[in-house]
Amino acid sequence: MSGSEIVYPPPVVEVFLKALILAENEEAPEIAVDHLLAALNSPTPEREPVEQSTRPFAPAPHRDKALSSEAQKAIAKAGGLGPADLEQLTIDSLRTALLATKRDRTK
Q: What is the pLDDT of residue 26?
A: 96
Cα gap 101→81, rounded to integer Å = 16
Q: What is the pLDDT of residue 53?
A: 66
Tens digit of each residue's pLDDT (9 = 90 or more) over 42-95: 877 666 655 666 777 777 777 789 999 999 999 888 887 665 566 678 899 999
Q: What is the pLDDT of residue 97?
A: 93
| Domain-wise residue ranges, the chain | 11-44+64-106
pTM listed for this prediction: 0.76
**C-beta separation of 5 from 83 below 8 A:** no
Cα gap 92→95, rounded to integer Å = 5
